[in-house]
Amino acid sequence: MWWYSWLTYLCASVCMVMIFLQWSRRKTNAKFAKMSGPRRLPLIGHAHKFFRATPGKIANTLKYFGSFPSPVCIYMGPLPHVAIFDPEQLQVILNSQNCLDKSIQYSFLRVSRTMISAPTHLWKNQRKALNPSFAPAILNNFVPIFNEKCAILTGLLGKYVGQPERNYTRDLCKFTLDQIYATALGCDFDMQRSPDGERSLDLIESYIKVMVARIFTVWKYPEFIYRMTSGYKREQEILKTYHETIISKLLRAIDFEEKLKLSDENNNEAMNEDTGSKKPNIFIDRLLKLMRDGDEIAKEDIFQQIDMILFAGNDTTAKTTSFILLMLAMHPEVQERCYQEIMAVCPGENQIVTAEDAAELIYLEMACKETMRLFPVGSVLARVTTADIKLNDEHTIPADSTIIMGIYQIHRDPKIWGPKADEFDPNNFLPERAEKRHPYSFLPFSGGPRNCVGMRYAWLSLKVLVVHMLRKYRLSTSLTMDQIRIKYGIILNIANGCLLTLEKR
């Protein structure tokens, strides 16, 4: 019958194409074949391991792959991905000029022309131009703002003293949002007490929920398919509302259109009325200068750029701060030692915490680092190779490969951190212990040239906050370490939230 001949011809053609593809990729496949990993199933590879993977279960799935020697080859259907769970290999990858491009998932944030997910050539120019906005001299100018916003927060939290345990994550998110507006964007909207703060968090949380749903639904990855879904419609509605009601108000407040027309010479003549000195070039000033200097950033990219700094600076810092306060509440002996150190350095309840004070809080920093070890907000990093990368004498990662870096798994690896790797112990960061570990075994802010640009900002702001909180309140919680539930998403979350009880000191 004619259809039988046609079907035979079609099957033969498909087989020939598959054979040709396998032959043309034989050298690349040989490199993947040298890597470890569990046996894969025909056609689907290891995709069944991620079937119905939820944000709460993905950590265990990656832990399973992390039990194999790194690098591990994970096949998502016919497509190989390389998973890295070794600090030495991580150092090679993060410092390679052939592995600076981000994976497809970063593009879902709709900030594809910003430092978060821009292609390498754009990222390099932006990083160079925007780096100075987080320099030590600029951060020193932010210290009074950090203290002011901390005083507002601790004042607002006073009404909860003696009240039942509650989740303080949202309070901390509004606090960090308030700081970023006043520092990086130079516009004080009083987000902790303004309805705009609540409205912004509602929109941000709704947007992240949509993005996480896409990340965990592989068939939504192709853009042309995703645009036909209700998720895309919801995403665009949220962005439109956020930009029209919140970001447009910000742009009017900073005179965006007028400043964009000014020459650099005229713009730099703006003086601080209190000191008579020139105002420092904060993030928004550097961004405007970059827009005036050339076509690397177009005027219409301004929404992406502000979305980027608000997401990168707000959600990550807020969640890290909430994790730190929760760990201190859960470990009262560590909290008390931090408190005693604070009392020795800056004891007054309303005393300004300077950058010099923050630098002297060594044990507090150890407690913060230990929290970021156990709960790194950037728990998974993903890059795409633009050329072959030689990891060592045995393994080479082929060009055009997607690399998955398990930071969470490395931070809890017993081979690196000892048999109690899952326990909270600030002594892990005693100098004598730290110097024995590979420098890439602890990466709360990523590593290499494409690390977090706001790392110093985050360190200083969160230390100032912890000082203000511990000087005023004693923290406690009913949660224990074994009850904590981890959720993966755009960043790592503790599903339980920051459950605390406050007691006035």
Residues 6+ apart with CB under 8 A from 271: 277, 278, 279
And the tokens for 33? 């074949």
Cα(35)–Cα(434) distance, integer angstroms: 30
pLDDT confidence of residue 269: 45
Residues 268, 125, 208, 153: is their CA dihedral positive or negative?
A: negative
Q: Tell me, what DSSP letter sits at residue 444?
A: B
Say how far apart CA 184 and CA 306 lie, in whole Å.
10
Q: Where are the domains of the chain?
A: 29-267+279-504
How far apart are the C-alpha atoms of 376 and 56, rounded to whole Å? Answer: 15
Q: Enter the tokens of residue 356.
A: 């010099």
- Quote the CA–CA distance of 287 and 129 in Å, as a whole number: 8
Residue 113: what pLDDT?
85
In angstroms, the Cα distances linking 72 to 240, 388, 438, 454, 500 are 41, 16, 20, 31, 40
Q: What is the pLDDT along the chain (505 residues), one digit of tens a residue?
A: 555 666 666 666 656 655 555 555 667 888 898 999 999 888 888 888 887 777 777 888 888 999 999 999 999 888 899 999 999 999 999 999 999 999 998 999 888 888 888 889 889 888 888 899 999 999 999 999 999 999 999 999 999 999 999 999 999 999 999 999 999 999 999 999 999 999 999 999 999 999 988 988 888 999 999 999 999 999 999 999 999 999 999 989 888 888 777 755 555 544 444 444 556 789 998 888 888 876 566 777 888 888 888 877 788 999 999 999 999 999 999 999 999 999 999 998 889 999 999 999 999 999 999 999 999 999 999 999 999 999 999 999 999 999 999 999 999 999 999 999 999 999 999 999 999 999 999 999 999 999 998 899 999 999 999 999 999 999 999 999 999 999 888 899 999 999 999 999 9
pTM of the model: 0.91
Cα–Cα distance measured from residue 382 to residue 402, given in angstroms and rounded to the nearest whole number: 7
The answer on whether 73 is annotated among ligand-binding residues is no
**Six token digits for residue 166:** 């509650």
Supply the DSSP symbol for 45.
B
Angle (deg, nearest 10), helices 195-215 and 230-242: 150
How far, in Å, CA of 152 to CA of 137, rounded?
A: 24
* Residue 84 identity (one-letter amino acid): I
Residue 10: predicted pLDDT: 65
364, 466 Cβ separation under 8 angstroms: yes
CATH top class, domain 29-267+279-504:
mainly alpha
CA 142 to chain centre: 22
Tell me the C-alpha to C-alpha distance, in Å, between residue 399 and each of 85, 86, 118, 386. Answer: 20, 20, 19, 5
Q: What is the pLDDT of residue 488?
A: 86
Contact 438, 416 (CB under 8 A): yes
Please report which helix (H) or strand (E) contains residue 473, including its range.
Answer: strand 473-476
